[in-house]
Structure 1
Amino acid sequence: MYEDKQNLNALPSPDYTQIGEKPKKRRAKKIIIIISVIILALLIIIISGAVILGLTYYNNIQQAYQLSFSAKADLEASLHKIMNRDFKAGADLIKNANTKFGQAKNLLDQVVIVRRIPYLSVQLKAVDNVLLAGLKLTESGQQVVLLIDDITSPLRNESISYATITEEQKRMILHKIVASESLLYEVKKNIDEADAAIAAIPEEKLVSQLRDGISPLREYLPKIKILIDNSLPLLKIIPKVAGFDQERAYLFLLQNNSELRPTGGFIGTYGILKLGNGEIKEFDTDNIYNLDRSSQHVIKEQSPWPIEKYLEQKDWALRDINWAPDFPTTAGKTIEMYDKENKAIADLIKSGQPIIGEKGTVIDQVIPYEKDIFGVIAVTPEILGGLLKLTGPVVASDMVFTDSNYQEQLELMVGKLYQELDIPISQRKGIIKQLADQIKVKLLTLPLSKLPDVLDIAFAAMDQKQVLLYVKDPEVQQLIFERGWAGEIKQVDGDYLIVVDSNMASLKTDQFVKRNINYSLSWRDDDLIGRVEINYQNNADFTWKSTRLRTYTRVYVPLGSELINSSGAMENDKIKDPQMQAGQVESGSEFDKTYFGAFISIEPHEKGTLVFEYKLPSKIKDQIRINNGYKLLVQKQPGVMPDLTLDLRFGKNIKSANPAEPEKEWFNNSYNNNLALDKDKDIIVNFK
């Protein structure tokens, strides 16, 4: 037994590590093969899916691209139809474009997975926004074109003019304009959404083709938005002002800007204009002295002291009523004085006393009194130039008036020729009524295709304050404010400036005077100093209509400004004050502004300068130091277009400015610019 055990122990031990090795290797290999097959299958599925998905996405993108270009072609075709007054066909094409934009957007909405890829997602999002803008624009475009089609349906005849449209047709047109208000506010909403969609597209990271395609939208959409925003107030203004369903009477003032006054010019002619359902029911004008001369000495309202001193008019009258540079204030005062003077005339007639007009002449009658004045319309003769350019030459009182000679011809007749023609002085301004009537006839008989040109002239004149409007209706007046046609002294939080000249008995000299306003800003220790320098160059001669310039000038600046220095003020001109004493500077406050005023006189072919230097209030300093920005509003006086030079030294580097400076002035700490003050100017500067 023992030996058997020893023998057994002597036998070699089995190698258990070898047991099952070959089966395990075969199994692992099999698993690897299976996994590989599965992975391969998955890859094939994924790749196949990606190919199928890619083809689907490619087809979607390609179809969307084709639909978008087809929509673009429809829009271009619609413009052609609209220009040819085929509004319904134009609207149908816009509707087609809208449908195609919608289809293109639906196709792109299905492209989901690609949107998770950063670069591609930016491109697709941009296209989404473009299509959204296209949908909003075409939806609005169709509505507007159909509205135009409805409103203009009575006006399709090529030979039709405003004069040939019946009053009932005009009333219906005004009615449709009133009824369209809610629709056009919906259009405004769509335009705003389209503008926001385009504004949200990043300017960087876009492929060049897409960037180039979006560029026109970036340029034109804001302009369309401004057009809509500016047009909407007209929906309320025009029907009420034009006498829709209720006749409106206006006090008409012709302000001669050759004799400059605060709201545009000397009021030499007044009148009554009546409008009803878009028609001129009545328009009568007269020499303002016929109403003024007798009544002003009955009323005995004291004139503002500069009028009393420099015009030697103790009693205030309608012709000088526009002393306040804020036109709504002047308009209210004008209606008040018109009422007083007419009542004074009525009392004189009742008592059997004669009506005394200009230079002591006896007047038979004045324009019948209109007690229900709805508003005031003040114009300068400048608007006649644009209208005569459109109508062509007009003949009145055997004189030919053109866009280049109307002012000279009017001055010749009113100031000199009437004497040679034995026209009574009280009737010397009858030529103005005759000229207005002839221009009206020509305008009303123009083809309606010229109506946009007439509106362009009118809107430009109102933007430049050659026409000012005031109405008693608060809602409409607010819209006139918003449109910029009220001629008010505006209220702003930032810096402010308006220079207001008033001709003080220097004939029609202002037409020969060149003006330049220099405004500078600088720090002096802890004070912010404003400096206004008004340079006058009198290019007139001594003639029957021109002489030395005599002007009382007021400068309105932010409330709380303190005058620290001035120069150029005179006591009077060299004839009335041979010693040429220095004048005093008046200081005061009104219209939530501080003002400084002074008199200056400048001989023909000489220059003169008024300077006002003042400390600006803390709120303007804080704009620059704390708010890191600066705003300045320079308002234009109606009736004159001076040059404006700005030298604003902030002591801080400028990041951006609007309007932009000339390129040579960039990259420093001051703003320097030369601008034509043809309308109010907003200057906005941001600092780094």
Structure 2
Amino acid sequence: MPTRSSELSGLRPGHTKLRVVRKTDPSLLINLLDWLWDLVLLPFRLIGFLLFSPVLLVRFLFLQLSLLFKPSCSDLPRVSSHPTRSLETEHFSGSKYSLDLRKNQGRGVLDFRPIPLQAVFMEQPQHNVQDIKNLSAKQRLPALESPSERGSSRQSNGAGRYGFFKTKQFSSGLVLAAAIFLVVANMFYQTTLRIYRQVFAEATTGQEYLLLAENYIRAQDFPAAQDAFYKASQSFQIALDEMAKTKPAGVIPGVNTKLDIGELMISTGLMVSRAGYEMSIGLEPIFDIFSLEDSAQMTEDSMIADYTAQVMTVMMFARPQLRKSLAEINEARSLLARVDPGQVGSEYQDQLEQVVKQLDSLGEILDRVYSLSMILPDLLGNNGARHYLLVFQNNAELRPTGGFIGSYGVFSFDNGKLDQFFTDNVYNPDGQILVKGLCQLPPLPLQRLSLCWGMRDANWSPNFPTSAMDIIELYRQASERRVHGVIAITPEVLKDLLEITGPIYLSKWEEVVDSENAIDLIQYKVTLEQADTANPKTFLIDLSYELFDRVFALEKSSWTKLFNILDGALEKKDIQIFILDREQQRLIEKQGWAGSLLPNSHDYLLINNANVNGTKAHSFIEQKYQLTTNILQSGEVENTLQISYEHTGNWDWPSGVVESYQRVYLPLGAQLISSSAEQEGKRGITEVYEEVGKTVFADYIKIFPSSTLHITYRYSLPFTVAPFEERLAKYELVYQSQPGVYGIPLEHTIIFDPFEIMPLQATPGVELLDRGTIKSHLGKDKDVAYEIVFRRFSVLD
């Protein structure tokens, strides 16, 4: 029989290898406090109050509550006659931790929660609960209640498991927590309200300074504009700094979106004010030159030629500021693009759209001015003399880049000053090619006109940079001179310039040339009256000398009109520029001044004609283009293109039969299905080949006076309009007009299955006629590109 001592020793927890697992917290108050803590944290998360100090305060108060309202527990027993009892539990890492129960006498319940004895001894089958009760009585330890006794005891108390919720302690704690929450919430509200008021005030101040700066810019008071832009940027920066303090409020649903939009708008204002500051610094010297300020050498009667050197200097000075300004405007545009109009109030959506348009317009203007600052200094001979060919393209005899080259000129700039300028008949250098025995065959369609390729026929490629390279090479062969670039102009430019200079009297010819009769008079002198002379282009050459002398002598009051004319001519491709320097040419192409064929990722269309019988009757031809795009259920695309030519002239000069080599440029890989002509005029079978990265359908056509010719092409495209990410699909079209041809719209109709796809958004100008049909009118005198985004149809739409 074991002794009591050995019995007690065998019951010591330190001699067991039990693993104690607490599945529930024995303290109801601790559970209550945890629940109350989660309850109080919920409104804090909603209002975004994440500051550290209030959290510590609340935790401290909960600690006091736990100490104040803890359940009554007897002190741990003192057992002096036995060694220290320890409870060993195996940790998941394999190490052991010992808890000295004797050392914990007198400590609060929060230091270590007492572990029920039955949790320790429940796995020892040799002892029952009654033995443990007897042992506890002898050692004066608290008696252990069985689970059934403990449950009946609680029920007898009448409180039940949740009886604490009815106590005064719980009510007092809840009231105290609510009071703390209200105090802290009020502090947060007042602080946030103060910050918002300051943000609004600073943002409004910045906006007012921007409006003030705009007025200064219009008045060309650039120092005042700089000051206003600077103050606007300061106000917007302060507003952003203050707004950063409201980040905690961003966790509140609905508030975070408003805060993000506000931050984007204020950041946009900051970028615009910085861009305006740099822009005003860069533009000030430029406007000083053209306003004749701060220049003792210049007067109101000074000529443009007197300014070229100064223009070169100030453009170089303005480059850094214009570059910074352009970068910040682009940043502002990208920030504003992130604002969802649907998240902005309906009363502000129109204003937002207007701001976007203004920023886009300002960005385009700055980009153009910056490109000019990069191009002009070198064009004007900043790094040495620069020589350029000027070719006159007569669009009455239409050719791929604008018209037949009948005359040309050479001009030079050295250190910003016009060095020389002369014009000549193109047949003179072409004759030198023949004399030197350097002839080479021209492109096949031109061989009916000549077997020796010269400058007059060099603009055969519709891609002007390609034609310009041929012009430069043929001129070098003829004259043994090198030039740095080519500028091509049409008679429309001469006509527009005469509106500024006024009528010009040519005493040698006893003719008065003005904007009304210039084109017809040039046509008559060159092709009829002087056709049989040794130099039929003499009239045009004499007019060019006098006209450009007048242009370079224009007074200040006419400069704005001149710049507008040049800008419009560049946009309509009445002026096309090619420079051998790659970086300058890249900037020219970026502005759309190079006459280049544009790249395309989807659909593309260019209809190009070249006169091959030498008549000057193309001005009597009226053209119409109709393109029908059919998007099949499979996503494949088929196009039907109808081209109409109506000859409004008669058989008398300068009208007559027009023979043309027509080329239709399409996406690379397009497949011809069929081609036909409703009337006689299309000769032979349509040629299909590749050129300048496009697929070409080519035909010889003949158009008789007072007749109409319709040509139809049906072809498939090398891509599909199939839904991709998020059931979306896209169709894009790049349409380019031929230089020298005006007022020809493209009527484009898109047909699709409305039960397969439906249009989601499109470029402005595109009209949805009905389910399954989209129509747009594009082009006329400039290149356009547009897109339509489709979404796969769903019965839920």
Give the distance between the partners of 1:680 and 1:523, measured in 2 at CA: 24
1:80 equivalent in alignment to 2:215:
yes
Residue 265 (structure 1) aligned to one of 396, 400, 403:
403
- Corresponding residue of 1:510: 618
1:320 equivalent in alignment to 2:457:
yes
Q: Is the 8 A contact 1:631 1:685 kept in 2?
A: yes
Superposed displacement of residue 329, structure 1: 1.8
1:204 equivalent in alignment to 2:342:
yes
Aligned residue for 2:684, secondary structure, equals coil
1:474 equivalent in alignment to 2:578:
no
Give the distance between the partners of 1:674 and 1:37, measured in 2 at CA: 72
Q: Is the 8 A contact 1:122 1:206 kept in 2?
A: no
Aligned residue for 1:614, secondary structure, equals strand
Residue 303 (structure 1) aligned to one of 442, 446, 459:
442
**Cα deviation code 1:12-37 (max 9, x no counterpart):** xxxxxxxxxxxxxxxx9986896587
Residue 262 (structure 2) aligned to one of 117, 127, 149:
127
Give the distance between the partners of 1:104 and 1:510, measured in 2 at CA: 63
- Corresponding residue of 1:484: 592
Residue 608 (structure 2) aligned to one of 488, 495, 500:
500
Give the distance between the partners of 1:36 and 1:334, measured in 2 at CA: 92
- Corresponding residue of 2:539: 431
**Cα deviation code 1:370-412 (max 9, x no counterpart):** x121011111112223333344444344433333332122223
Give the distance between the partners of 2:527 and 2:277, measured in 1 at CA: 56
Listed as ranges, the matches of 1:129-528 within 5 Å are 129-157=264-292, 160=299, 163-164=302-303, 170-208=308-346, 211=349, 214-293=352-431, 295-296=433-434, 298-309=437-448, 311=449, 313-342=450-479, 371-397=481-507, 398-417=510-529, 425-448=533-556, 450-522=558-630, 528=637
User: Are residues 480 and 266 of structure 1, via their aligned partners in 2, closer, same or farther at CA, if it must alter by over 3 Å?
Assistant: same
Q: Is the 8 A contact 1:249 1:374 kept in 2?
A: yes
User: Are residues 570 and 242 of structure 1, via their aligned partners in 2, closer, same or farther at CA, if it must alter by over 3 Å?
Assistant: farther
User: Are residues 521 and 338 of structure 1, via their aligned partners in 2, closer, same or farther at CA, if it must alter by over 3 Å?
Assistant: same
1:115 equivalent in alignment to 2:250:
yes
- Measured on the aligned residues, the alpha-carbon RMSD in Å equals 3.5
Superposed displacement of residue 134, structure 1: 1.1
Give the distance between the partners of 1:171 and 1:592, measured in 2 at CA: 41
Superposed displacement of residue 582, structure 1: 4.6
In the alignment, residue 411 of structure 1 is paired with which amino acid?
Answer: Q
Aligned residue for 2:209, secondary structure, equals helix
Give the distance between the partners of 1:590 and 1:470, measured in 2 at CA: 20
Q: Is the 8 A contact 1:257 1:381 kept in 2?
A: yes
Give the distance between the partners of 1:162 and 1:241, measured in 2 at CA: 25
In the alignment, residue 470 of structure 2 is paired with which amino acid?
Answer: K
Aligned residue for 1:655, secondary structure, equals strand
- Corresponding residue of 1:590: 691
Give the distance between the partners of 2:350 and 2:265, measured in 1 at CA: 12
Listed as ranges, the matches of 1:16-27 within 5 Å are none
Superposed displacement of residue 553, structure 1: 0.9
User: Are residues 373 and 162 of structure 1, via their aligned partners in 2, closer, same or farther at CA, if it must alter by over 3 Å?
Assistant: farther
1:560 equivalent in alignment to 2:697:
no
User: Are residues 293 and 84 of structure 1, via their aligned partners in 2, closer, same or farther at CA, if it must alter by over 3 Å?
Assistant: same
Aligned residue for 2:447, secondary structure, equals helix
Superposed displacement of residue 655, structure 1: 1.9
- Corresponding residue of 2:88: none
Give the distance between the partners of 1:585 and 1:207, measured in 2 at CA: 57
Q: Is the 8 A contact 1:264 1:640 kept in 2?
A: yes
User: Are residues 375 and 661 of structure 1, via their aligned partners in 2, closer, same or farther at CA, if it must alter by over 3 Å?
Assistant: closer
User: Are residues 41 and 647 of structure 1, via their aligned partners in 2, closer, same or farther at CA, if it must alter by over 3 Å?
Assistant: closer
Comparing 381-390 with 535-544, greater Cα deviation is found at 381-390
- Corresponding residue of 1:548: 657
Superposed displacement of residue 568, structure 1: 3.4
Aligned residue for 1:204, secondary structure, equals helix
Give the distance between the partners of 1:113 and 1:449, measured in 2 at CA: 59
- Corresponding residue of 1:614: 715
Superposed displacement of residue 441, structure 1: 3.9
In the alignment, residue 373 of structure 1 is paired with which amino acid?
Answer: V
Aligned residue for 1:601, secondary structure, equals strand
In structure 1, list runs of 5 or more residues that go unmatched.
Answer: 1-27, 344-370, 574-580
| Off by >6 Å, runs of 4+ in structure 1 | 523-527
Aligned residue for 2:656, secondary structure, equals coil
Superposed displacement of residue 524, structure 1: 8.6
In the alignment, residue 488 of structure 2 is paired with which amino acid?
Answer: A
Q: Is the 8 A contact 1:171 1:245 kept in 2?
A: no
Superposed displacement of residue 301, structure 1: 2.0
**Cα deviation code 1:575-608 (max 9, x no counterpart):** xxxxxx9534333322222322222222211111
User: Are residues 482 and 215 of structure 1, via their aligned partners in 2, closer, same or farther at CA, if it must alter by over 3 Å?
Assistant: closer
Aligned residue for 2:292, secondary structure, equals coil
Give the distance between the partners of 2:241 and 2:341, measured in 1 at CA: 25
Give the distance between the partners of 2:607 and 2:369, measured in 1 at CA: 30
- Corresponding residue of 1:90: 225
Give the distance between the partners of 2:632 and 2:180, measured in 1 at CA: 79
In the alignment, residue 393 of structure 2 is paired with which amino acid?
Answer: Q
Superposed displacement of residue 53, structure 1: 4.8
Give the distance between the partners of 2:305 and 2:516, measured in 1 at CA: 34
Q: Is the 8 A contact 1:569 1:584 kept in 2?
A: no
Give the distance between the partners of 1:563 and 1:384, measured in 2 at CA: 41
In the alignment, residue 92 of structure 1 is paired with which amino acid?
Answer: D
**Cα deviation code 1:139-169 (max 9, x no counterpart):** 11111101212344444437856954786x6
**Cα deviation code 1:591-639 (max 9, x no counterpart):** 22232222222221111123333344xx32x344768322222222211
Superposed displacement of residue 265, structure 1: 0.3
- Corresponding residue of 2:134: none
Residue 644 (structure 1) aligned to one of 746, 763, 778:
746
Superposed displacement of residue 673, structure 1: 2.5
Sequence identity, in percent?
A: 26
Q: Is the 8 A contact 1:657 1:683 kept in 2?
A: no
1:68 equivalent in alignment to 2:169:
no
In the alignment, residue 607 of structure 1 is paired with which amino acid?
Answer: T
Superposed displacement of residue 269, structure 1: 0.7
Q: Is the 8 A contact 1:563 1:612 kept in 2?
A: yes
Give the distance between the partners of 2:579 and 2:178, measured in 1 at CA: 83
- Corresponding residue of 1:357: none
Residue 673 (structure 1) aligned to one of 771, 776, 791:
776
TM-score (norm 2): 0.70
- Corresponding residue of 1:10: none
Superposed displacement of residue 241, structure 1: 2.1
Superposed displacement of residue 484, structure 1: 2.1
User: Are residues 162 and 88 of structure 1, via their aligned partners in 2, closer, same or farther at CA, if it must alter by over 3 Å?
Assistant: farther
Return the index of the structure with the highest Cα Rg. Answer: 2
In the alignment, residue 566 of structure 1 is paired with which amino acid?
Answer: S
- Corresponding residue of 1:604: 705
Give the distance between the partners of 2:438 and 2:475, measured in 1 at CA: 11
1:653 equivalent in alignment to 2:761:
no
Superposed displacement of residue 288, structure 1: 1.7
In the alignment, residue 505 of structure 2 is paired with which amino acid?
Answer: V
In the alignment, residue 668 of structure 2 is paired with which amino acid?
Answer: L
In the alignment, residue 83 of structure 1 is paired with which amino acid?
Answer: R
Listed as ranges, the matches of 1:27-38 within 5 Å are 38=176
In structure 2, list runs of 5 or more residues that go unmatched.
Answer: 1-165, 792-797
Give the distance between the partners of 1:210 and 1:634, measured in 2 at CA: 35
Q: How many residues align?
A: 615
Give the distance between the partners of 1:492 and 1:508, measured in 2 at CA: 33
Q: Is the 8 A contact 1:242 1:278 kept in 2?
A: yes
Aligned residue for 2:390, secondary structure, equals strand
